[in-house]
Structure 1
Amino acid sequence: MLETATALLLAHAATDFLFKTNGLPASRPPAATLILHAVIVLVASQAAIGRVDAWEPLAIAAASLAINTVTAFAMPARLWAFLLDQAAHVATLLAVAFLSPGLFAGGLWAGLDGLPAVMALGAGGIIATAAGGQAVALLVDPWDKSMLPEGLPNGGRLIGLLERSIIYLLIIVGQPAGIGFLIAAKSVLRFETASKDQRAGEYVIVGTLASFGWAMVAGWATLALVSHLPPIGILPQSP
Structure 2
Amino acid sequence: MIAAGLLLVAVGGVDLVRRLVPGRRIVAFVIAAAVLVALSAGADAIVAGLLAVAVAAIWTWVVPESGPARAGLWPVGLLGVAAAACVVVAPARPSPGLVGAVWVAYGPREGLSVDVLFLVAGCLLFLLESGNAVVRIALRAEMGERVAPSTGDAPGTLRGGRLIGPLERILVFALTLAGAYTLLAAVLAAKGIVRFPEISRDGEGGDRAEYFLIGSLVSWVTALAAAFLVWWGVGGV
TM over 0.5: yes
Aligned equivalent of 1:218:
226
2:129 match? 130
- How many residue pairs match? The answer is 211
Q: Is the CA contact 2:13–2:125 (under 8 Å) kept in the aligned structure 1?
A: no
- Partners in 2 of 1:190 and 1:217 — Cα distance? 24
Once the 2 structures are TM-superposed, how far is the Cα of residue 220 of structure 1 from its aligned partner? Answer: 1.7
Matches within 5 A, 1:199-210: 199-210=207-218
Amino acid at match of 1:169: A
Q: Distance in 1 between matches of 2:53 and 2:167?
A: 34
Q: Measure, in 2, the Cα distance between the counterparts of 1:127 and 1:89.
A: 14
Partner of 1:109: 100
What is the correspondence of 1:63-102 to structure 2 with a 5 Å cutoff?
Answer: 63-64=54-55, 67-68=58-59, 71=62, 77=69, 79-83=72-76, 86=79, 90=83, 94=86
| Residues 31-180 of structure 1: pairs in structure 2 closer than 5 A | 33=26, 37=29, 40-50=32-42, 56=47, 59-60=50-51, 63-64=54-55, 67-68=58-59, 71=62, 77=69, 79-83=72-76, 86=79, 90=83, 94=86, 105-110=96-101, 112=104, 114=112, 115-141=114-140, 142-145=144-147, 148-150=155-157, 155-180=160-185
Moved more, 163-172 or 111-120: 111-120
Whole-angstrom CA distance in 2 between matches of 1:42 and 1:165 = 27
* CA distance in 2 between partners of 1:201 and 1:138 (Å): 17
- The answer to whether the 8 Å contact 1:132/1:211 transfers is yes
2:101 is paired with a residue of what secondary structure? coil
TM-superposition CA deviations, 1:9-65 (whole Å, max 9, x none):
354245333334899xxxxxx9x93x963663243132144169x862674277347
Tell me if the contact between 2:40 and 2:49 (Cα under 8 Å) persists in the aligned partners.
no
1:9 aligns with 7
Change in Cα spacing, 1:68 to 1:145, as seen in structure 2 (3 Å) is: closer
Q: 5+ unaligned residues in a row in structure 2: which ranges?
A: 105-110, 149-153
My pick for the range that moved more, 165-174 or 137-146, is 137-146
The answer for unaligned runs of 5 or more in structure 1 is 24-29, 230-239
> Which residue of 2 is the match for residue 234 of structure 1?
none
Closer, same or farther: CA 39–68 of 1 in aligned 2, 3 Å: farther
Distance 2:139 2:30 in 1: 29
Letter in 2 for 1:44: L
Across the aligned residues of Structure 1 and Structure 2, the Cα RMSD in angstroms comes to 4.1
| Pair 47,37 (structure 1): closer, same or farther in 2 beyond 3 Å | same
Give the 3 Å change call, closer, same or farther, for CA 156–81 of structure 1 in structure 2.
same
Distance 2:130 2:61 in 1: 19
1:168 CA displacement:
0.9
**1:65 & 1:170 partners in 2: Cα distance?**
28
| TM value normalised by structure 2 | 0.67
Q: Which runs of 4+ in 1 moved over 6 A?
A: none
